[in-house]
Structure 1
Amino acid sequence: MYYLGNKEILNNYKIGFLCSRKVPAGIILKTYDWAVEQRDKGNCIVSGFHSKIEKDVFDILVKGSQPIILVLAKGMMKRWDKKIIELVNQNRLLIISLFSEKVTRPTIKTAIKRNELIAEISDKIFIPYFSPNSYLQTLYDNYKLKVLTL
């Protein structure tokens, strides 16, 4: 595994956040409310922050002070957004990748491995919505004792 940032964050109670790309409107608003609640409580969230809704949740979380774990479905990037660098420098962000820097793009296969790692390292998993018969449903079935849903 490859790491960038504060590995001590792994010692926190962690809530994994995963969500299908296509989400009903009513679920989106409830998910944003959930993200604000997690930020205000200072809970550590683990996610790939890859889909639109996951990116929106990341933007909500960074306005707080809690630690965050970003798990990539590709190798570490050589250049990072200024916001990411600031969070790493503040010891609030840990970035994890299972893949070498030669893996430059996420694939379905790498996303599945990323999501499994998120499920493994999280104490609980929040999946506000998953499409029927999707990989996230399979993940839900495998980890249902740890999963919270809307």
Structure 2
Amino acid sequence: MHSIGNEALLDLRKVAFLCSRKFPQEAAEKAYRWADAQRLAGTCVISGYHSPIEKEVLCRLLQGNQPIIIALAQGLNRLHPEWERHLAAGRLLIISRYAQSVSHPCESKCYQRNKMMIDLADTIVIAHASPGGSLERLCSDWAGKVTVL
């Protein structure tokens, strides 16, 4: 695993947050309320922050001070400039299974990234898993760890 940031965050209790790319509006509303609550509670959330809901959850979490882990499905070569101050503050860790030469995520890389996050997390929160999709298949293997919003 490759990383940038505060590796001590891996020792914290972590909640993995995932959501399919296609989702009903009520899933988004629940996810945003959940993210606001996690920010206030100081929960360490790990996610790929890749789908539209996951991206908005990251925006909400970055408004707080709690630890955040971002798991990429590509190399650590393209980081968002806004992340710099959070890295400097020691509240952010960015991880990847992939070398810097891997520049674009694909479905199989996203699946492997999600599996890595689930392995690292203590609990898993799913905003929405599309029926028959890869997220639904992945979570079926971890039913005891999964909570659906």
Give me the TM-score of the superposition, normalised by structure 2: 0.97
Which amino acid letter does the alignment assign opposite residue 81 of structure 1?
H
What is the CA-CA distance between 1:75 and the residue it aligns to? 0.6
Aligned to 1:34: 34
What is the CA-CA distance between 1:81 and the residue it aligns to? 2.6
- Listed one character per residue, the Cα deviations across residues 91-144 of structure 1 (whole Å, up to 9, x for unaligned) are 010000100011100011110110000100000000011000111111111011
Aligned to 1:137: 136
Q: How do 1:1-150 and structure 2 match up within 5 A?
A: 1-77=1-77, 79-150=78-149
Distance in 1 between the 2:3 and 2:39 partners?
23
Runs of 4+ in 1 over 6 A off after TM superposition: none
Q: Which of 80-89 and 93-102 deviates more? A: 80-89
Distance in 1 between the 2:23 and 2:134 partners?
15
CA RMSD after TM alignment: 0.8
Which amino acid letter does the alignment assign opposite residue 133 of structure 2?
S
- What 5-or-longer segments of structure 1 have no aligned partner? none
Give me the TM-score of the superposition, normalised by structure 1: 0.97
- What 5-or-longer segments of structure 2 have no aligned partner? none
Which amino acid letter does the alignment assign opposite residue 52 of structure 2?
K
Which amino acid letter does the alignment assign opposite residue 60 of structure 1?
R
Question: Counterpart of 2:15 in 1: which secondary structure?
Answer: strand
Distance in 1 between the 2:80 and 2:18 partners?
22
Which amino acid letter does the alignment assign opposite residue 122 of structure 1?
A
- Once the two structures are aligned, what percentage of the paired residues are identical? 39
Question: Counterpart of 1:128 in 2: which secondary structure?
Answer: strand
Which amino acid letter does the alignment assign opposite residue 34 of structure 1?
W
Distance in 1 between the 2:115 and 2:80 partners?
26
